[in-house]
Amino acid sequence: MNTSAHSLTAAPGARPERRRSLAVCGLIGVAVMAALDEIVFHQILGWHHFYDRSTPGVGLMSDGLLHTAELLGLVAGFFLYADLRRRRALAPAHAWAGFFLGLGLFQLFDGVVDHKLLRLHQIRYGVDVTPYDWAWNIAALILLLIGAALAVRASRHTEAGSAS
């Protein structure tokens, strides 16, 4: 464990690892969004179900793999993040950018690949699903845009910082 009393930013020898911060928090973002989807839409709202009878075998398998990957991603992401903090290598601006990109990427993947291409399940049943699909994917795009804007700002900030 790191026992030194330096603050996260002012520590000597601390060098922010920007790409790694972005990637690790991106992983956490993907896993968090997958977990949110699972908890809010599957369990609390019950809009789609534990098992949809229409689901084909391949879909079932990819669903299981995705679910497990989400779980492992959450745990592994947390430890990777803790490691960045411990080494004082976290670049907060890049980390936030990665987090939002991760959230948006998963949401868009779920909305396009799972719901539309593989047709694993739909967002809701027994209603016209179009507005839900639009809301879902537009939300994903907004999250992605926020992430992209944060990433651009973070990298500009970095360039400005290293130029001065």
Tokens of 97: 């950018």
Query: Does residue 29 contact residue 101 with C-beta atoms inside 8 Å?
Result: yes
CB of 150 to another protein, least distance (A): 20
Binding mask 62-101 for another protein (x = CB under 8 A): -xxx-xxx-xx-xxx-xx--xx--xx--------------
Residue 84 vs 105, nearer CB to another protein: 84
**Total binding residues toward another protein, as defined by CB under 8 A:** 25
Asked if residue 45 binds another protein (CB under 8 A), the reply is: no
Asked if residue 1 binds another protein (CB under 8 A), the reply is: yes
* Range 11-18, long-range pairs (CB < 8 A, 24+ positions): 11/88, 13/88, 14/87, 14/88, 14/89, 15/89, 16/89, 16/90, 16/91, 16/94, 17/84, 17/89, 17/90, 17/91, 18/91, 18/94, 18/154, 18/155, 18/158
Query: Pseudo-torsion of CA 81, 86, 88, 93, nearest 10°?
Result: 20
Asked if residue 40 binds another protein (CB under 8 A), the reply is: no
Residue 130 vs 161, nearer CB to another protein: 161
Residues near another protein (CB under 8 A): 1, 15, 19, 50-51, 53, 60-61, 63-65, 67-69, 71-72, 74-76, 78-79, 82-83, 86-87
